[in-house]
Each structure stands twice: as C-alpha cells, then as structure tokens.
C-alpha cells in the first residue's frame, strides 16, 4: 500500500489536495447523479474540446466506415459522454468502500483465474482501454487479487492518490510502473496475475505494424514477451457498462491457446484481432480519444 510521504504535504501541493478533496466529495453523490453529470460534461466537451473531439471523430470514421455520417455522429457523442462519465467512475474505483462497489457488477469466468492460481502459474491479464478501465479492474480485483500497471504522474500528490486508490481492497495487490518489465516478469513467475493493456500507440516501445480495424497499427510485442519470460498464461477480460447504466458486466475469458507462437507479427495480430472483436461489442465505451494510429509505417501520411 502506498504511504504518505512528508514532501506531498508541502504547501505547494495544497491546491492539488483541495481539488482532490472536491472530487472526493462529488464521488459521494448517488451514482446515477454522477453519471448524469458525466453526460452533461460530455456535451460541454463536444463544444469546447475541439481537438479531442476531432480525434474521436477521426478514429470512428476510420474504424467504422460502414456507418452513415449520422450514425458516426451519434457514436461520437455517446463516446464523449462515456469518457466524461469515466471521470466519476474512476473516483468510485479509488474512493468508494467495498459495500458500495459490490452492488455494481456481475462477474463471469472467475474459474479461469482460479485454475491458474491453483497451478501457481502467472497470468498476463489482457485488458483493454475502455473508458472506465480503473473501475473494471477494481471490480475484478475484489474477487481475485491482481497486480496493476500504472503511469507515474509528475505531480507526487496525484501519483500517491492514484497508487493508493488502485491498491485499495486488493489483498496483496501491487502497482508496477508500466516500463518496469523486470518486476512484471518476477511477479508473473511468482504466480501473480498482472493487468496489462497493449492496445495503445506506445511509440517508445518496440512494435510491429499489424491490422486493427483494417488499419496498420503500431502494436507492441510485449504481450507475447511477458507470457514467454514470465511462463504465464494470457487470460483476457472485459468490463462493459450496461446500456441502462444499472451497473457493469465483467467477463473473464479462457486462456489464449497456443500463445505465443513465436512470430512477432502473428502474435501481435492475434491480440489485435481479439481486442477488435471485444471493442465491436461495445464501441461507444472504448477510449477513442487516444490517437491509436498516430505512428504510421514509413511513407504513410498522418491520419489525424
């Protein structure tokens, strides 16, 4: 568990503490009020954050060319709403007590993680960047202890709160800086399940170009590397917000068979194919605000 250190109590960080305190207060509201606020903010972002809206519009146009302009526009608005609702859902994941979280979800497929644990085999828990990823991981971790990756934040107060929020309610859970491959491998070899989401454009890591929604996308090869080095299974999971906003459905899938094959392109393509299929099941909840196709093969133009 992350602990308070003296320097984060310095007066220079008091504005951050005040902002986080206000966020904590809002998170105590009934969930339906919070999601309603999220939808209102989604409309505001549509009007004000033109650069972010453009990225979402471009991603959806690239990935769903079969949709009419009107259908694409509806998906864009739904995605902006989902993105802002996730601001509150992240707060729920970090600040809510167990008894409130337990009422939110159903869980299917826990036997796959339990089997790996019984065999003392590590698990690369294949995650995906749906907007409410913090809440999805927290709901799963209440049933099965997992380790999570995180991006260290420059603001030490936010970084401390982030780590503390993600480690709460997780027996033996541990947050790992996302570039710390050595620790990931060590935890996998110790039989731990490590949350890992490879579906973004990580330009500083080794990648190959393989299709994602029919577009050549820079895709990191780390999933296969972690499975091989950590002697681990790759077990995917998803978390969808229900259409009526009544809660969430978390699903754990069987381990990927015959993975990795040892061919970087085939292994990366298989991961992208699986993730694409899951995104198509609930595309409005995916993190389209990220420039997934930012890095292009040599000679190809910028898509944004």
pLDDT score, position 219: 97
227 in a domain, yes or no?
A: yes
pLDDT score, position 169: 76
Average pLDDT, the chain: 94
Confidence of residue 193 (pLDDT cuts 50, 70, 90): very high
Confidence of residue 3 (pLDDT cuts 50, 70, 90): low
Distances (CA, A) of 196 to 32, 53, 169, 185, 231: 30, 27, 19, 12, 15
Is the predicted pLDDT of residue 44 greater than 70, yes or no? yes
300 in a domain, yes or no?
A: no
Is the predicted pLDDT of residue 2 greater than 80, yes or no? no
291 in a domain, yes or no?
A: no
Domain boundaries, position 44: 6-285
Please tell me the total count of domains within the chain: 1
- Percentage with pLDDT > 70 across the chain: 98
177 in a domain, yes or no?
A: yes
Is the predicted pLDDT of residue 60 greater than 80, yes or no? yes
pLDDT score, position 150: 87
- Percentage with pLDDT > 90 across the chain: 88
302 in a domain, yes or no?
A: no
pTM of the model: 0.93
More confident residue, 239 or 6: 239
Is the predicted pLDDT of residue 247 greater than 50, yes or no? yes
Is the predicted pLDDT of residue 82 greater than 90, yes or no? yes
40 in a domain, yes or no?
A: yes
Is the predicted pLDDT of residue 173 greater than 60, yes or no? yes
Mean pLDDT lowest among 7-11, 86-90, 225-229, 249-253? 7-11
295 in a domain, yes or no?
A: no
253 in a domain, yes or no?
A: yes
Mean pLDDT lowest among 151-155, 192-196, 217-221, 233-237? 151-155
């Amino acid at each position: 568990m992350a602990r308070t250190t003296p320097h984060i109590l310095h007066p220079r960080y008091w504005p951050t503490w005040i902002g986080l305190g206000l966020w904590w207060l809002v998170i105590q509201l009934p969930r339906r009020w919070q999601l309603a606020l999220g939808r209102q903010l989604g409309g505001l972002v549509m009007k004000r954050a033109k650069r972010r809206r453009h990225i979402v519009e471009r991603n959806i146009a690239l990935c769903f060319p079969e949709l009419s302009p009107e259908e694409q526009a509806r998906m864009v608005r739904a995605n902006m709403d989902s993105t802002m609702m996730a601001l509150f859902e992240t707060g729920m994941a970090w600040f809510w007590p167990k008894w409130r979280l337990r009422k939110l979800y159903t869980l299917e497929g826990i036997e796959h993680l339990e089997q790996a644990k019984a065999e003392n085999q590590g698990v690369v828990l294949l995650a995906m960047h749906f907007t409410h990823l913090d809440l999805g991981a927290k709901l799963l971790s209440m049933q099965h202890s997992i380790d999570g990756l995180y991006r260290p934040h420059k603001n030490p107060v936010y970084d401390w709160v982030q780590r503390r929020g993600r480690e709460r309610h997780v027996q033996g859970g541990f947050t790992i800086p996302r570039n710390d491959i050595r620790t990931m491998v060590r935890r996998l070899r110790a039989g731990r399940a490590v949350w890992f989401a490879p579906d973004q454009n990580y330009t500083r890591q080794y990648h190959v170009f393989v299709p994602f929604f029919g577009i050549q996308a820079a895709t990191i090869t780390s999933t296969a590397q972690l499975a091989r080095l950590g002697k681990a299974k790759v077990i995917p999971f998803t978390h969808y917000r229900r259409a009526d906003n009544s809660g969430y459905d978390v699903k754990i899938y069987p381990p990927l068979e015959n993975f990795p094959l040892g061919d970087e392109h085939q292994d990366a393509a298989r991961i992208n194919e699986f993730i694409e299929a899951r995104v198509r099941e609930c595309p409005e909840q995916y993190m389209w605000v990220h420039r997934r196709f930012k890095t292009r093969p040599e000679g190809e133009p910028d898509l944004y």
